[in-house]
A and B are shown apart, each in its own frame.
Chain A
Amino acid sequence: MNSSRECKMSNSPKPVATRCELDENLEILRRIPIFSAIPLQRLRLYAYLGKRVSYGAGQFIFRQRDSGDRGYIIVSGRVQVIREFSDHSVLLNEFKEGDFFGGLALLSDINRLFSARAVTSLECLTWDRESFQKLLVQFPEVALQILDMMIKRIIQMEEKLLQTQLHECVCG
C-alpha cells in the first residue's frame, strides 16, 4: 500500500527502493539543463521510455564504426570518448554526470564516429532511436529544442577534432 503512494509524491524523501523508476528517471532528467526546459508531462514520457544501464570500469559502451541506435545520459560515473586510428587512438573528450553523448544515433542510422569507454563504474539512462523518434513526432515543439542542443554538440565535437588534427599536423 505505502509502496504505491510514493510515486505521486516523488519530492518527499523516501527509501530509494520503493520509489518507482519512472520518478527516478524524471528526477535525473530535471537536473539536466536541456531537458529541464521540457514541460513535466512531456518529460515523464522521456523518463518512461528511457532505460537504465550500468557498466563496469573499462567496459566499452560502444565501439567506433559499430552501428548504433542509442543515446546516453550519464547518471553517475565518467566516460572517455576515443577516436581510434589504425595505429593509435586519440582521447577526444571526457563526459561526466549529467552529460549526454552518442545522440546522433537517435536521429539517423549511422556508424559510431568514436568509441565510448567507462572510466569508472557507470550508470546511464538511454533511449533507442525508435522511442526517441516516436517522441519527436509526437511533440514537435520539444524536438526543436533537442535538435538545437544536438547540433551545438556536433559543432563542439568538430571543433575539438579539428584542433586535434591541427595539433597533430604541427607536431608531426
Chain B
Amino acid sequence: MISKKPLFSWVFERYIGMQALLFLMILTTIFFRVFPLEMQKRIVNSAIAFKRLDALLLYSGLFIGAMLLAGILKFLINLLQGYIAQKILLDMRARLYDHILTLPLSFFRRTPAGMVITSLTSELSVIGEFLGGAIAVPLINILTLVAFAGYLAYLNPLLAIASFAIYPIEIIIIPMLQKRFNHLNQHRIDVTRDLSNVIGEAISGMHEIHGNAGYGLERGKLLRFAGSLFSVRIRMNVYKFLIKFANNFFQSLGPFILFLLGGYLTIQGRFDIGALVAFLSAYEKLYDPWKELMDYYQDLQDSRVRYKQIMDYFDIRPEFEIAPPAERDPYALTGQIEIKEMSYSVDSQTHILDRISLDLESGSQLAVVGVSGSGKSTLAMIVGQLYSYNGGHVLMDGRELKTLTKLDVSHNIGYVAQHPFIFNGTIQENLLYAFQSTRRTSNNGDIAAMPEGEEVLRVLREVGFAEDVLKIGFDTILNPDKHSDFAQRLIEIRELFFRRCGVELAKEVDFLDRDSFQYYSSISDNLTFGYPNTAQYEAEALPRNALFREVLDDARVLKPLLALGEELATQTVFLLKDLREDPFFFEMSPISVDEFEKYSDIVARLGKGARSRLSAADGDALLGLALRFVPAQHKMAALSPALEDDLIVARHRFMEIMTSRDPAAFTFYRPTEYLYTFNILTNILFGHARADHPQAMELIRQRVAEMAREENIIDEIMALGLQFRVGSMGDKLSGGQKQKLAIARALLKNPRILIMDEATASLDNASQAHILQLLGSRMRGKCTLIAVVHRLETVKDFDLIAVMRAGGIVESGRYDELMGKKGLFYELVQGM
C-alpha cells in the first residue's frame, strides 16, 4: 500500500538512468571547480612573479574557461534535478490520489476537505522538491568539499588541518540548534493545521454563528491556536537567528586563522603568495557547499516529518478491491439478491442494522419504508457497496458482495442518492459520468459503446428531464462567433412566431416595438433601443457620453431624468438605510449595497436644500441611477405617461443620429437583427414576458416549444441545453432537476440493480408520478429495484415492502397484506 512506502523509495524506484546521468555531470563539474584554483596560484606564482605575459593570458583563459564550463554544468544539473523533482511529484500525487479516492466513505466524513487538499498540494510539492535533489545535493556538495579539502591539503597540510579544525565544532553545535528548531517547526505545523480546521469549521457553520451570535466563542477558539502559534514562532526565531549567528561567526573564524597562520608562514618564507591566494579563495568557496549541506539536512528532516504525517493520515486500507484481476472481466449479474442475517455497526457497539434478511428475485421491486433513523438509507448504501457490513451475508448471484470489486459493482448497480452530487461541468458530462467511468476502468477497453444521442434523449424524456433541458436550452445566450447560422434561422422563426402568436400573446408580452415604451427594460435600454458594440456606449459610461447627453437635452428629458434619479436615490436610501447588512434587500433596488454609501451621501447633500452644491460627478451618478431604472421592477418610482412619450422621441432621435454617424456602434432591436445579449427565447419572442402574469411565461414557453418542434430546431436547442454548465456542485440547477439528472445518469448505465434512496423526494408531484410510472412499466423486470421511500402513497405497486424500525425489518409483504395485518405499516399509512 502506498501509505507504507518509504520516502527515499520514490527516488530510486524510477528514473535510474536520469540519476546516473546526474551523477556523471556532478563528477565532471567537481573537476571544473577545483581547476580554476590551481590556475589562480599559477597566475600569481608563475605569470605575475616572472612577468610572463603569454603565461598570464594562457592561465587566465583556462581560468575563465573552466569557470564557464562549471557554470554551464551547474545550470544543466539544476534543470535535470528540477525535472526529476517534478516527475517524482507527479507520480506521488497521482498515486496518492488514487489511494485516497478508494478510502472508505467513513474516512471522508471525519476528514475536513481542506486537510486532503493541502496534503496533496502544498505539502506534497515541498517533499517533491526535496526528493528531486535528494541524491544530487548531498553528492555534489560532499564531493566538492572533499575535492577542495584535498587541494588545500596538497597546498599546505598544516594550514589545511588548522582551517578544517573549526568544522567539527560547527557540526556539533549547529545540528543541535537545528534539531530544536525542527521540533518547534513540527509543533507549528500541527498548530497551523488546527487553526485551519477552526477557521474551516467556522466558515461552514457560519449560519449557526450568525444565528447564535457566536462571534466571541469563535474568536476564542481561534485565539487559542493563534496564541500558541505566536509563542512557537517567537521561540523558532530565537533558534533560527542563533543558527545564523553561529554560522557567520564560524565562517569568519576561518579567514582569521588563515591570515594569522598563513601570513606567519609566508613571512617565514615557508609558504608562497600564490598558494595563499589560492588557499583563501578555496576556503571562501568551502562555505557554499557547507551551507547547502546544512540546508539539505534541514530539508531532509522537514520532508521526513511531513511525509510521515501525510502517509500516516492516509494509512487506511480501502474496504473493497478496485478492479478484478486482469484475466477476468467484470461480472454480469442477473440482479438476484439474497441478504442473510446481515448486520452493520460502527465502533462495534452501535448497531445501525441488525440481522437483516431479504430475498429478491431478479427483476423484482422492493420498497424500504420506516420512520427516519430506522436504517433505510444505510441498508441501501450497503447494497450499493458504499459501506461494508460487519456480520452476515449479502449475496448477489450467490457471490458475497464484500468480495466483489468496485468495478463489478459499478457495472451492475446504479445508485441514486437522496442528495445526488452533480459535478461542475455540462449537463451532458454529468449524464455520462456513471457510464463513462465503467468504460474507462474496464480491463479490455470498450465493453459498451457510448450511448447515442437518441438514447440519451430517450432516457431524458423517460425521467421527465427533457423539458428542463429544453427550457435551459431556450435560455442559452448564443455566441456570435459560433452560432451565426443558427441565429439567422431563429430570426426566421421569430417572424413566423409573431405572425402566429402575436395576437394571442399581446397581453402577456412587451414586444420590442420601437414605438412603444418598454416597461421590462431599463431607461437606458429604452433610449438606445439596442446594445452597444463599443465600450464608450456601455450603460455605465452613458451618463458621461457627450453625444448621448446632447440627445437627452434636445428631447427635454435630461432634467426629468435627473429628477427621477433624485427620487430613486431618496426613496431607496430612506427605505433600505437600516438593512445594509443583508444584500438580499438590494436585489430589487437600483442601488447596489456597494454603492449605498455614495448615494446616501448625495441624498444628504440634496437634503440640505442646495441642489447647486451637487458636483458634476453627483449629477452623473443620479443620471446613471435613472438610466438603470426598470419601471416594472423597481417599485420606488414611477414615470408619467408624458415622460414615457418623450423618452420614445429621444429614442428615435438617438437611433437616427447613431445610424448616420456611427452605424456599427449599436445593434438596434430590429426584427431583422439577432440580439446576442438576449437568450434564444427572448429572441424568438422578440419581447419580454410580463412578470405580473404568472401564467404568461408557461404559455409562452409552450408556444415557443410548439413552434420549435414544427420548425425542427428542437434537437439544436436540446443540444445547447445539454451543453449548459451546471456550476459548482450543480448549484445552477434546482433540487428537482438535480434528482432527475441523477436518475437519468444511473439509467443510462442500464444497471441490473437500481437503488434509489429517496431519489424522488425533491420532485414535484407530476415529476414524481412520471418516474413511478416509468419504474412500474418500462423498467419492471428489466432491473431489480430497491427504493427507499418516504411518501407511502407511492409504494402500492411494489412486489415487496420492507418496513424498518430501529435497524431491523419488523414486517414485510405486499401492500394489501401489510394493510391487512394492521401492524406498523398500517400505522404509518394512517398517520400520513
Report which A residues bind B (CB closer than 8 A): 1-7, 17-22, 25, 44-45, 47-49, 51-55, 59, 61, 65-67, 111, 130-131, 134, 138
Nearest A residue to B736, CB-CB: A67
A67 and B636 CA atoms in complex are apart in Å by 31
| Chain B min CB distance to A136 (Å) | 13
Q: A18-B640, A51-B691, A67-B764 are in contact. List 20 more A-B contacts (CB 8 A).
A: A1-B559, A1-B560, A2-B640, A3-B564, A3-B643, A4-B566, A7-B636, A7-B637, A18-B638, A19-B638, A20-B637, A22-B635, A25-B635, A47-B635, A48-B635, A53-B693, A54-B693, A55-B693, A66-B764, A138-B579
Stretch from B263-271, B370-378, B582-590 forming part of the interface with A:
B582-590
Nearest B residue to A19, CB-CB: B638
Mark interface residues in B547-567 (1 if CB within 8 Å of A CB, else 0): 000000000000110011011
**Can you report 29 A-B residue pairs in the complex whose CB atoms are below 8 A from each other?**
A1-B563, A2-B640, A3-B560, A3-B563, A3-B643, A4-B564, A4-B566, A7-B571, A7-B637, A17-B641, A18-B641, A19-B638, A20-B571, A20-B635, A20-B637, A20-B638, A22-B571, A22-B575, A48-B635, A48-B636, A49-B585, A49-B588, A53-B693, A54-B693, A55-B693, A55-B694, A66-B764, A131-B584, A138-B579
Contact between chains at B639 and A18 (CB < 8 Å): yes
A21 and B571 CA atoms in complex are apart in Å by 12
Nearest A residue to B562, CB-CB: A1
Contact between chains at B638 and A45 (CB < 8 Å): no
Contact between chains at B639 and A3 (CB < 8 Å): yes
Question: Most B CB atoms within 10 A — which of A18, A20, A47?
Answer: A20
Residues of A within 8 A of B635 (CB): 20-22, 25, 47-48
Residues of B within 8 A of A54 (CB): 692-693
A55 and B691 CA atoms in complex are apart in Å by 12
Contact between chains at A17 and B693 (CB < 8 Å): no
Asked if B765 CB lies within 8 Å of chain A CBs, one says: yes
A48 and B559 CA atoms in complex are apart in Å by 26
A55 and B637 CA atoms in complex are apart in Å by 25
Residues of B within 8 A of A18 (CB): 638-641
Residues of B within 8 A of A134 (CB): 582, 584-585
| Chain B min CB distance to A20 (Å) | 4
**A17-B638, A44-B575 known; A65 vs B765 contact (CB < 8 Å):** yes
Residues of A within 8 A of B692 (CB): 51-54
Asked if B533 CB lies within 8 Å of chain A CBs, one says: no
Asked if B695 CB lies within 8 Å of chain A CBs, one says: yes
| Chain A min CB distance to B772 (Å) | 14
Chain B interface residue count, Cβ-Cβ cutoff 8 angstroms: 28
A67 and B567 CA atoms in complex are apart in Å by 39
Mark interface residues in B69-88 (1 if CB within 8 Å of A CB, else 0): 00000000000000000000
Tally inter-chain residue pairs, CB-CB below 8 A: 80
A4 and B634 CA atoms in complex are apart in Å by 13
Nearest B residue to A65, CB-CB: B765
**A54-B693, A66-B764 known; A7 vs B575 contact (CB < 8 Å):** no
Mark interface residues in B698-737 (1 if CB within 8 Å of A CB, else 0): 0000000000000000000000000000000000000000
Residues of A within 8 A of B579 (CB): 45, 138
Residues of B within 8 A of A4 (CB): 563-564, 566-567, 637
Residues of A within 8 A of B641 (CB): 17-18
Pairs of residues from A and B, 3 with the lowest C-beta to C-beta distance, nearest first: A4-B567, A3-B640, A21-B635
Residues of B within 8 A of A111 (CB): 765
Residues of B within 8 A of A19 (CB): 638
Contact between chains at A53 and B694 (CB < 8 Å): yes
A64 and B635 CA atoms in complex are apart in Å by 32
A48 and B566 CA atoms in complex are apart in Å by 18
| Chain A min CB distance to B57 (Å) | 87
Q: Of A22, A44, A66, which one neighbours B765 at CB under 8 angstroms?
A: A66
A47 and B575 CA atoms in complex are apart in Å by 11
A51 and B587 CA atoms in complex are apart in Å by 13
Contact between chains at B764 and A59 (CB < 8 Å): no
A66 and B585 CA atoms in complex are apart in Å by 27
Residues of A within 8 A of B764 (CB): 66-67
A55 and B641 CA atoms in complex are apart in Å by 25
Contact between chains at B571 and A17 (CB < 8 Å): no
| Chain A min CB distance to B531 (Å) | 27
Residues of B within 8 A of A7 (CB): 567, 571, 636-638
Residues of A within 8 A of B639 (CB): 3, 18
Question: Most B CB atoms within 10 A — which of A1, A17, A25, A53?
Answer: A1
**A1-B563, A66-B764 known; A130 vs B584 contact (CB < 8 Å):** yes
Mark interface residues in B597-636 (1 if CB within 8 Å of A CB, else 0): 0000000000000000000000000000000000000011
Residues of A within 8 A of B582 (CB): 134, 138
| Chain A min CB distance to B821 (Å) | 24
Question: Most B CB atoms within 10 A — which of A2, A3, A5, A7?
Answer: A3
A4 and B622 CA atoms in complex are apart in Å by 13
| Chain A min CB distance to B642 (Å) | 8
Contact between chains at B695 and A59 (CB < 8 Å): yes
A95 and B579 CA atoms in complex are apart in Å by 34
A18 and B584 CA atoms in complex are apart in Å by 27
| Chain B min CB distance to A73 (Å) | 14
Contact between chains at B640 and A17 (CB < 8 Å): yes
Residues of B within 8 A of A52 (CB): 692
Question: Most B CB atoms within 10 A — which of A2, A4, A59, A130?
Answer: A4
Mark interface residues in B248-269 (1 if CB within 8 Å of A CB, else 0): 0000000000000000000000
| Chain A min CB distance to B479 (Å) | 33
A17 and B640 CA atoms in complex are apart in Å by 7
A65 and B563 CA atoms in complex are apart in Å by 48
Q: Of A5, A48, A66, which one neighbours B575 at CB under 8 angstroms?
A: A48
**B453-499 with Cβ < 8 A to chain A:** none
